[in-house]
Amino acid sequence: MKTIDDLLRDGVAGERVFVRADLNVPLAGDTITDDGRIRAAVPTISRLAEAGARVIVASHLGRPKGEPDPRFSLAPVATRLGELLGREVAFATDTVGDSAKATVAALGDGEVTLLENLRFQAGETAKDDAERAAFADELAALADLYVGDGFGAVHRKHASVFDLPARLPHAAGGLIATEVGVLRRLTDEVERPYAVVLGGAKVSDKLGVIDHLLECADRILIGGGMAYTFLKAQGHEVGNSLLQEDQLEAVRGYLKRAEERGVEFVLPVDVLAVAEFPDLAAKAPADPRTVGVDAIPADLMGLDIGPKTQELYAAKLADAATVFWNGPMGVFEHPDFDGGTRAVAQALLDSSAFTVVGGGDSAAAVRLLGFDETAFGHISTGGGASLEYLEGKTLPGLAALED
């Protein structure tokens, strides 16, 4: 796979370089509530601009329906990107239309523009190959070179991720090169003991990665909403907690396989439970009860792992040499239920292991809870992409960058 280092060695001054970044940040109106993905994109964009390239940055944001939607405009992102780069970022109000063509044509050496949301064009996400190809042709007409650096999108077979690299000389950006290097350390070059912490809402979202990790992990710790399906599979009553009954047989199968393979499967021993899901915006005190997993009342729902589980999980991570964490332990957005996620994050920081936070809500939680991001071994920008890589799947955006 050719990298940005190869491009810079060959020289990019005066070249129009299309950078497919992942700037899919959360917005509250026009306010960016977490700029982590923008900051992660800056090094590659900055290196290209400093080398004299005319940089065309493109990304999606949210899930618009293939047509312009002001709620998902990248205009606020252009402003923040310019602040982080320390240089003006011109903003094209469309993707391949008159504004994009004029903005790109006006670029000088070392200047940067951001195109409007790629998903405002139906061709970006089309399942029809011809429709995607037609949009990729229009994008290719804007540029001379392609740099794939949006790791959070490489598991999508989208025009700007999969089809466009075939139309231009291409290379992987610094972010993608780093992400792939880290994931290889979790698959091909693992230092042991290898502990995995999985959380989040639904066990169905993690079935593939659990299946794969049973072949390579030494220890798997489960938290979040998905834990209650595991607890139910073990025979516990879980009250009104999140439960996927259609996954119980699959979960029982995983627990049996783990026992047969000698993989330690660690589940909560206590949880924080309440009668009603709290208002996350108001953050009013929810007054949760701590209950053992063998005594969850029928009228309560568990929303975080309890203090004994926090201690247990910290102990299970203390001697690990490699830790991968994907998914919060509870409803971390509310201060009454952030303790489990906070405890796991702290356990990673206290460990001497190579620690990887697998993007998505885990990365958001690290930032929201005030942890120093640089203290972790790596914080991924792509939760879904990381999981699919660990499942052993071929990621379209990575395959497209191979020579």
Chain segment 291-327, per-residue pLDDT in tens: 999 999 999 999 999 999 999 999 999 999 999 999 9
Q: Which domain holds residue 361?
A: 182-391
385 or 305, which is more confident? 305
CA distances from 322 to 67, 209, 217 (A): 43, 16, 10
Mean pLDDT in residue range 265-273:
98
Query: What does DSSP say about strands 289-292 and 270-274: parallel, antiparallel, or unpaired?
Result: antiparallel
Q: How far apart are CA 63 and CA 119, in angstroms?
A: 7
Query: What does DSSP say about strands 170-172 and 194-198: parallel, antiparallel, or unpaired?
Result: unpaired
Catalytic residues: 37, 202, 360, 384
Two structure tokens written together for 101: 């063509």
Q: Are residues 63 and 116 in the same domain?
A: yes
Residue 59 lies in a domain: yes
Q: Are residues 249 and 162 in the same domain?
A: no
Smallest Cα–Cα separation from 398: which of 145, 183, 217, 211? 183
pLDDT attached to residue 358: 87
Q: Is 44 exposed, middle or buried (0-12, 13-18, 19+ CB in 10 A)?
A: buried
pLDDT attached to residue 403: 75
Residue 251 lies in a domain: yes
CA distances from 187 to 184, 341, 392 (A): 5, 25, 9
Q: 20 in helix, strand or coil?
A: strand
Q: What percent of the chain stands above pLDDT 90?
A: 89
Q: Are residues 169 and 257 in the same domain?
A: no
Any known ligand binding at 156? Answer: yes
Q: Are residues 96 and 13 in the same domain?
A: yes
Residue 337 lies in a domain: yes
Any known ligand binding at 63? Answer: yes
Mean pLDDT in residue range 57-65:
96
pLDDT attached to residue 273: 98
Residue 399 lies in a domain: no
Any known ligand binding at 333? Answer: yes
Q: How far apart are CA 333 and CA 319, in angstroms?
A: 29
Q: 290 in helix, strand or coil?
A: strand
User: What is the pTM for the complete model shown?
Assistant: 0.89
pLDDT attached to residue 384: 86
Any known ligand binding at 302? Answer: yes
Q: Which of 109, 141, 174 is the last residue of a domain?
A: 174
Beta strands in 275-396 (DSSP E): 289-292, 301-305, 322-326, 354-357, 378-379
Any known ligand binding at 359? Answer: yes
Q: 84 in helix, strand or coil?
A: helix
Q: How far apart are CA 368 and CA 337, in angstroms?
A: 13
Residue 400 lies in a domain: no
The CATH number that applies at residue 126 is: 3.40.50.1260
Can you name the residues that pair with 57 across neighbouring β-strands?
19, 114
Any known ligand binding at 24? Answer: yes
Chain segment 326-338, per-residue pLDDT in tens: 999 999 999 999 9
CA distances from 305 to 119, 332, 337, 360, 375 (A): 38, 11, 8, 19, 24
Residue 402 lies in a domain: no
Q: Which of 153, 174, 195 is the last residue of a domain?
A: 174
Q: Say whether pLDDT at 25 is over 80.
A: yes
Can you name the residues that pair with 325 across neighbouring β-strands?
197, 357
Q: 76 in helix, strand or coil?
A: helix
pLDDT attached to residue 230: 97
Number of domains in the chain: 2
Q: Say whether pLDDT at 361 is over 90.
A: no
Q: Which of 129, 145, 174 is the last residue of a domain?
A: 174
Chain segment 175-197, per-residue pLDDT in tens: 999 999 999 999 888 999 999 99
Residue 403 lies in a domain: no
pLDDT attached to residue 242: 96
Average pLDDT, the chain: 95
Q: Are residues 157 and 186 in the same domain?
A: no
Q: Are residues 134 and 108 in the same domain?
A: yes
Smallest Cα–Cα separation from 95: which of 67, 72, 116? 116
Q: Are residues 137 and 188 in the same domain?
A: no
Residue 401 lies in a domain: no
Q: Are residues 139 and 205 in the same domain?
A: no
Burial 206-231 (b: 16+ CB within 10 A, else e): bbebbebbbeebbbbbbbbbbbbbbb
| Cβ atoms 236, 273 nearer than 8 A | no
Q: Are residues 253 and 297 in the same domain?
A: yes
Mean pLDDT in residue range 79-102:
98
Any known ligand binding at 362? Answer: yes
Q: How far apart are CA 226 and CA 204, in angstroms?
A: 8
Two structure tokens written together for 389: 């890589």
Q: Are residues 126 and 275 in the same domain?
A: no
CA distances from 14 to 19, 53, 112, 168, 376 (A): 15, 5, 12, 16, 38
Any known ligand binding at 361? Answer: yes
Q: Are residues 153 and 202 in the same domain?
A: no
Any known ligand binding at 23? Answer: yes
Q: Are residues 137 and 187 in the same domain?
A: no
